[in-house]
Structure 1
Amino acid sequence: MDSITWEEMKAIDANCAQLGLLPIQLMENAGSSISKEIRDRFSGGKILLVAGRGNNGGDAFVAARHLCEYPQFQVDVILLGNVASIRTEEAKRNFLLLRHCKINNIKEITNPGDVSLSELINNADVIVDGILGTGVAGKIREPEASAIELINLSGKYVIAIDLPSGTPDTKSEQVKCVKADLTITFHKMKEELSTPVAFYYTGEVKVSSIGICSHAESFTGIGNLRTLNIRTPDSHKGQAGRILIIGGGAYSGAPALAALAALRTGADIVTVAAPANVAGTIASFSPDLIVRCLSSQRLCSEDIPLVTKLAYQHDVIVMGMGLGNDEEVVETARRIIPLCKKLVLDADALPALEETKGTYSEVVITPHAREFARIRKIETSTEINNRIEEVMAFSREKKVVTLLKGKVDIVSDGRKVMLNRTGNAGMSVGGTGDVLAGITGALLAINPPMKAAACAAYINGTAGDLAFKDKGYGLLATDIIERITDVMRE
């Protein structure tokens, strides 16, 4: 079965909201699906929904509202906390609605010794666990810990919403965890539920559709940006990435644009290694750039010792912008590739990938359609579905992430595909691809390649859309760089 991670589901939820499908609508659909599953499996009985203060609790409140309309079910609800402590507006609204429904009992429990907690659990026929969602860290507190223990001791049939509360992962082991008979998860199977540890707690796993917009999953959006690793408040210089730009010779502006874009995206240190004839010009773009002068007017084999030293000092190399297509340039780029821990290949360095041997762990390439056709030696299809297949096949074969630029950007690691539709016709101006390469390099420093490439495409296109509102078809690549921080703040 096609599966996703909890992080991907979180991004999808946020992308749905960006498209107009509100969180409260998804909560309604989730709760309704829980109610239907209970009605399909049980002819009647006492149903107890034990809810926490987050959105898992909100799903339980919706399920209770639906279930109580069926006379064969007696519905009780426990909120572990009080109404003022409910953390989301959607969950609070659904809890307050229960006061206007045919609920048998609604209990707000803050004291783990409250006798009504054990009484309601022991009197139930079916217990629904809506206590905790994903991302639980550290020891589970009261009254949640006592509720989990009482549920496990009850011997009753237990249904978990999304995942059993307290489910341990490979990083941490919870002392308390609900052991469910059935887990209802939403939209798609979660990879984390397939682990041997999780399987012990989940029981049967049922995937329920809740009406997710397909574009919220296939196209990048604000939700994907919110899953990015970013600089933490206590970070120091270098932790957010040291980026080496290798470019220039034939041109001077391209590597400068990539370097400035990387800085605006959040990289701590950006160094440009450029041939001698353009190094001074690149340095004049900004005092924020560190420029290292190469030996000649084009990248050449004599530069390998210096580049080797610089590669060791940096987290990511971004190579190709403005290098020119001389054969010695391509051959030197080919020799540099194995030196890289993480690499973004663009423009004139792309042909160097073709015959490179050896292993390199994390590589993103950023061709446009003509460049992609050139390195594949096959014309690139104009039909989107065919393009997707071509990008997937190439990425799988070369073991790289491909970001194929176009009206719709296609990003694939050979296994998954993400699309991006931000951007506009004004971005056909020179330099926007160099900006994209710089953004990708900055994100790749502290993020996985697929995520870095997909989010870079979104940031570049959205920054371009903001710039287009101000400049129209007169926008420049530098205008896009100035709007990167506006996008990142979203």
Structure 2
Amino acid sequence: MKYLLDSVAMKKIDEYSIKTTGIPSVVLMERAALSVSSFVEKLAYNKKDSGKKDISICVVCTKGNNGADGLAAIRQLYLHGYKTLVYEAGRKEPGTDEYELQKNIIKNLEIPFECAVQDNILPLDEYDFIIDAMFGIGLSRDVTGVYAQIIDEINRVSAVKVAVDIPSGLSAGIVQVSNKKVKADYTVTFGFDKTGMVLYPGRKYAGKVIVSDIGFAVSQDNVQKILENNPARMIEKKDILMIPEREADGNKGTSGKVLIAAGSRSMGGAAFMSAQSAYRSGCGLVRVFTHENNKNALLTLVPESICDTYNDKNSNCDELTKWCTWADCIIAGPGLSVSGQSEEIVKCILQSGSDATLILDADALNIISENEEYYEYISRYKGKVIMTPHVGEMSRLTGKSVGQIKGNSVETALCYSKEHGVICVLKDAATVVCDHDNIYINTSGNCGMATGGSGDVLTGVIAGMMCAGFDDECFAAALAVYIHGCAGDMCRKNQGIFSMKAWDIAESLSTVFTQNNTDYN
């Protein structure tokens, strides 16, 4: 896992490194600048048809420490023989001490220097590379005036854009404050990934992110000693190796028993995909409780599954209660529809007395949004409860608009989790998984996964991780989301973004697990 930090956390790390440990700020600045200049040089080297003198590089900066990083980087590039320009934006007042130090060196070296004037912005068409060093991670206001005009100019031209630490206009935290943002091709960020560049829309503006170690006296291993609150985290590929090994003398019963209450008269596919992905994710026994219309298709598509049914006249809740106490994990909702009968099934599961982990998805969430008394049943449920809404379902559950949720997905998921005592998996392009103590933001997956049934596959993967033997269910749920995204990324390579189906994602799960073992074992 890797920590994702915002501006407040990074300020504490910066202060700890400088004031407590004694690392001079100028040392950190030179290392930060070197990471940017060396990366730009690496990109420039790939322009085989050009020599250094033919490659032009412009740094756009303001008078803060981010601008100072940019000045140091352009100075290093100038001394390496590149054609360079400094383009400064800002009022006439002096900048920070670090900025004025770097600016003085620039002047002593007679590096070309221009100042921005509102409504008369210097065209940047002639530059091969633009280093964006205007605003760093501390930005807390909207970008207007000459700064907004410069951002428009940077985004207009075809030069390769490299952002210093974070694209200008983008916030490092969970909420974006500016409508103007540099759309970088690359971002060289310092020390840690930033939360705002992992969430959307920030991820679209950051481009390819390179995390550079510039010598902070804080690492991934000891960051929590410096920070008061638990920062957000993201799962990495190697974390798949944390899945507990099966006992050599285990059996299908000890590998996890899953009950899936899914599939109505006309929507059987959700049950099939949840069952298939649960088996592909390591579950030993999968029992599907579905409408009788779906039985033959289920046993054809997933012959390993056990099938129990209900029909239009009988919800068969006595049998359902029995299987709830049998299960280690229960999925309720995929394709269940919203009706009096489906409400009865969801209520039966919540009141079953089971201590199994319960995953509430799809129509179970729609039922809860229309019946607030179900929250009381959730609060009395014996096992852990995981709720997996997409933003539309979360809108129905909370009364917030989709725009409000997408604009602050972390806070929305966290508040909902705390209010109802559940693990919340808020599904979106950057899915957020949280409980009262932990926040995970997912980085795997792609837009091709926005297809019918993809969420049903995810419920099965979550069930698999719940049965794997983790002590921390929130981490297990986050790992499941990451694995699901990896399967989608594999489908992107094999089927393409436009052609992948949810069944393809389920079938790719086994390759994700196998490939990961090959990579790391």
By the TM > 0.5 criterion, same fold?
yes
Look up the match of 2:50. Answer: none
CA contact 2:360–2:386 (8 Å) conserved in 1: yes
Aligned mate of 2:373, from 355, 363, 367: 355
CA contact 1:394–1:414 (8 Å) conserved in 2: no
Q: Which runs of 5+ in 2 are unaligned?
A: 5-16, 24-216, 517-521
Look up the match of 2:462. Answer: 440
Q: Return closer, same or farther for 1:238/1:387 CA change in 2, 3 Å cut-off.
A: same
Q: Say if 2:272 is the partner of 1:241.
A: no
SS in 2 for 1:248: coil
Q: Say if 2:495 is the partner of 1:471.
A: yes
Look up the match of 2:237. Answer: 222
Q: How many Å apart are 1:314 and its aligned residue?
A: 1.3
Aligned mate of 2:246, from 215, 220, 231: 231
Look up the match of 2:485. Answer: 461
Q: Say if 2:414 is the partner of 1:417.
A: no
Look up the match of 2:178. Answer: none
Distance 1:387 1:419 in 2: 10
Look up the match of 1:313. Answer: 326
> Identity over the aligned pairs, expressed in percent?
28
For the aligned residue pairs, the C-alpha RMSD in angstroms reads 3.1
Give CA deviations for 1:132-187 in whole Å, capped at 9, x if unaligned.
xxxxxxxxxxxxxxxxxxxxxxxxxxxxxxxxxxxxxxxxxxxxxxxxxxxx9954
Give CA deviations for 1:322-355 in whole Å, capped at 9, x if unaligned.
1111133124312311324211111111134442
Aligned mate of 2:349, from 312, 336, 340: 336
Q: How many Å apart are 1:361 and its aligned residue?
A: 2.7
Give CA deviations for 1:394-438 in whole Å, capped at 9, x if unaligned.
010111111111111011113321011211121112111100011
Q: How does 1:288-437 map to 2 (within 5 A)?
A: 288-294=304-310, 296-297=311-312, 302-339=315-352, 340=354, 341-353=356-368, 354-356=372-374, 357=376, 358-382=380-404, 386-437=408-459
CA contact 2:2–2:235 (8 Å) conserved in 1: no
CA contact 1:331–1:352 (8 Å) conserved in 2: no
Give CA deviations for 1:364-412 in whole Å, capped at 9, x if unaligned.
1111111111122222445656211111000101111111111110111
Distance 2:495 2:220 in 1: 41
Q: How many Å apart are 1:297 and its aligned residue?
A: 3.5
SS in 2 for 1:284: helix
Q: Return closer, same or farther for 1:371/1:383 CA change in 2, 3 Å cut-off.
A: closer
**Partner AA of 1:318 in structure 2:** I
SS in 2 for 1:407: coil
TM-score under structure 1 length normalisation:
0.55
SS in 1 for 2:301: coil
Q: Which runs of 5+ in 1 are unaligned?
A: 1-10, 16-32, 40-183, 192-206
Deviating above 6 A after TM superposition, structure 1's stretches of 4 or more consecutive aligned residues are: 36-39
Q: Return closer, same or farther for 1:321/1:208 CA change in 2, 3 Å cut-off.
A: closer
Count of residue pairs the alignment pairs up: 296
Q: How does 1:124-135 map to 2 (within 5 A)?
A: none
CA contact 1:334–1:352 (8 Å) conserved in 2: no
Q: Return closer, same or farther for 1:394/1:383 CA change in 2, 3 Å cut-off.
A: closer
Distance 1:382 1:466 in 2: 32
Q: How many Å apart are 1:190 and its aligned residue?
A: 8.9
CA contact 1:241–1:268 (8 Å) conserved in 2: yes
Look up the match of 2:79. Answer: none
Q: How does 1:90-239 map to 2 (within 5 A)?
A: 187=220, 207=225, 218-239=233-254
Distance 1:436 1:443 in 2: 11
Q: Return closer, same or farther for 1:469/1:313 CA change in 2, 3 Å cut-off.
A: same
SS in 2 for 1:452: helix
SS in 1 for 2:424: strand
**Partner AA of 1:480 in structure 2:** I
CA contact 2:385–2:422 (8 Å) conserved in 1: yes
CA contact 1:391–1:414 (8 Å) conserved in 2: no
Look up the match of 2:78. Answer: none
Q: How does 1:253-264 map to 2 (within 5 A)?
A: 253-264=269-280
CA contact 2:350–2:381 (8 Å) conserved in 1: no
